[in-house]
Structure 1
Amino acid sequence: MVQPKYKRVVLKLSGEALAGQLGYGIDSQTMASVAEQVKQVHELGVEVAIVVGGGNIWRGIAGSAKGIDRATADYMGMLATVMNSLALQDALEQIDVPTRVQTSITMQQVAEPYIRRRAIRHLEKGRVVIFAAGTGNPYFSTDTTAALRAAEIEADVILMAKNKVDGVYSADPFKHTDAVKYDELTYLDVLNQNLGVMDSTASSLCMDNNLPLIVFSITENGNIKRAVMGEKIGTIVRGSVS
């Protein structure tokens, strides 16, 4: 039997991915599909941690642009990620996947506080761990959260699931018909070409910690498993091109 290429992964889900075709809020069918894909990987014995965004409910930058204090707007965005995390936890537990939600902002009535050693222990015991509330600090994105948590728990790879594109392109493929999809990139390429895969803080953190990143589409069922098994899907970003 073919073994997974990666033993411990961090799955980064944007809030928009959970909205599905609705464009806003949480689409139950999309949530169920994501949960089922996570279950496929979990059943392989892979340790799965998940970082969820909140853009389907609230974006801190957008709120700030409308006059709300930036720090306040970002904290509101962190609360949106908690809502998404609890919804994902419920979807996973409905299909018998043991799950824990850990938040960077203490709210002990609904989730555990983020404690690195406890998170690792949950993973070792076969539980999916969902990291909510970002880093707990304003001015940092959930991309940076994914990079930070992946480094902290010593993950093998970050899986960045997208709902609109199936990899990294030289330009927006919806606006430029001549946009080229990359199979492999370095973090320096991402930073120098301003490709928008993740923000510069997250990219630098991944590069400094030699964390590979796979960008792929979440809309095709089974893609998370394909990425974990090492199949060539999407775009892989690493410290240097092999």
Structure 2
Amino acid sequence: MKYKRILLKLSGESLAGEKENGYDEKILLSFAKQIKQLHSKGVQVAIVIGGGNLFRGLSGTDAGIDRATGDTMGMLATIMNGLALQNFIESQGVPTRVMTSISMEEVAEPYIRRRAIRHLEKGRIVIFSGGTGMPYFTTDSGGAIRSIEIHADILAKGTKVDGIYDKDPMKYEDAKKYDEISYEEAIVKNLKVMDATALSLCRENKMPIIVFDATKEGNMLKLVEGYKIGTIVK
């Protein structure tokens, strides 16, 4: 395996599949089976998951909700997604722990960095939910922070698109895909890979990023085996 410890960043929207919101059981099962493949190869997998399929903090401001309150609601949505994903991963016989930056001990373990690393070393999948625990930060920033804290080999961002393009490939047929791009280019060109805070954190700590299509069966395994899929940011 090229990567022995990865931080897998999954968007909440990806869990909805073709639906506008909520959950697509087929997608959850697909993710669970792919994660099981990685686990069977001895790869240590940590996951940060978004909450956009249930609630987005920024969308709440349009409805008159205070930004800090909206972001807190979004963080709670990520915990719900973490529990849902845990259920599907454990249905595949893989031990999983949900850790949250927001205290709710009856639901999930509190996030403690050394404990999280110990879970990984013992062969457990660790799902980091609750974002950073603070408003005004996206789950992309949370993924960048956690990947650095646990000393992951790479931050793998799974989306519905097979990489980074110069413009939206869903809208423009002539969109150009990048195989590799620098942090600086991604920030300056505002390519919407991740928010600028997340990209800056990864650049400062030399954390490589791969953006790939997580909904395609087998892509997660190809990624850790070193196949060239998606787009790498470094």
If the TM-score is normalised by the length of the shorter chain, which range does it land in? over 0.9
Q: Please say if 1:80 is aligned against 2:68.
A: no
Q: Which residue of 2 aligns with 1:71?
A: 68
Question: Counterpart of 1:187?
Answer: 183
- TM norm structure 2: 0.99
Measure how far apart 1:179 and its partner are: 1.0
- Does 2:137 correspond to 1:143? no
Q: Which letter maps to 1:123?
A: L
> What is the one-letter code of the residue matched to 2:186?
V
Opposite residue 40 of structure 1, the aligned amino acid is: Q
How far does residue 23 in structure 1 lie from its aligned partner after superposition? 2.2
- Give the count of matched residue pairs: 234
Cα distance in 1 between the residues matched to 2:164 and 2:52 = 20
CA RMSD of aligned residues (A): 0.6
- Cα distance between partner residues in 1 of 2:227 and 2:78: 30
Q: Which amino acid aligns with 2:206?
A: N
Matched ranges for 1:1-242 at <5 A: 4-163=1-160, 165-238=161-234
Which whole-Å CA distance do the structure 2 matches of 1:166 and 1:8 have between them? Answer: 22
C-alpha separation in 2, matches of 1:109 and 1:147 = 27
CA distance in 2, matches of 1:188, 1:44: 34
Distance 2:189 2:62 in 1: 26
Question: Any unmatched runs of 5+ in structure 1?
Answer: none
SS of residue in 2 equivalent to 1:22 = coil
| Cα deviation code 1:212-239 (max 9, x no counterpart) | 111010121000011111100010001x
Runs of 4+ in structure 1 over 6 Å off:
none
Identity %: 59
Deviation at 1:27, TM superposition (A): 1.0
Question: Counterpart amino acid of 1:6?
Answer: Y
For the residues of structure 2 that align with 1:11 and 1:81, how far apart are their CA atoms?
14
